[in-house]
Amino acid sequence: MTTGVIIKPNETFEKAMRKFTKSCEKAGIVSEIKKNQYYEKPSERKKRKQNQAKRKLIKERLIELGIIKPRKRPTRY
């Protein structure tokens, strides 16, 4: 995953750095580094994914029952 920024001649370093940081976030590099910062045992990874799936199921059922409202996502145009 390589990302780059084209810097204009009159552009400041701070602005170029902000552009680069934004492009790294969009590419998912920051989240990937945070995820791999510490070693996670396969059993812990499996347990974490099972918990996430369980929470997702519970949330979907609560939405079906009308206990909680579904989250509105902004429309893209």
pTM: 0.58
Backbone φ/ψ region at 74: left (φ over 0), alpha (ψ -120 to 50), beta: beta
For 4-27, write each residue's pLDDT tens digit.
889 999 999 999 999 999 999 999
Identity of the residue numbered 15:
K
For 28-45, write each residue's pLDDT tens digit.
999 999 989 999 999 999
pLDDT band for position 76 (cuts 50, 70, 90): confident
For 55-69, write each residue's pLDDT tens digit.
999 999 999 999 998
The answer to whether the beta carbons of residues 42 and 33 sit under 8 Å apart is: no
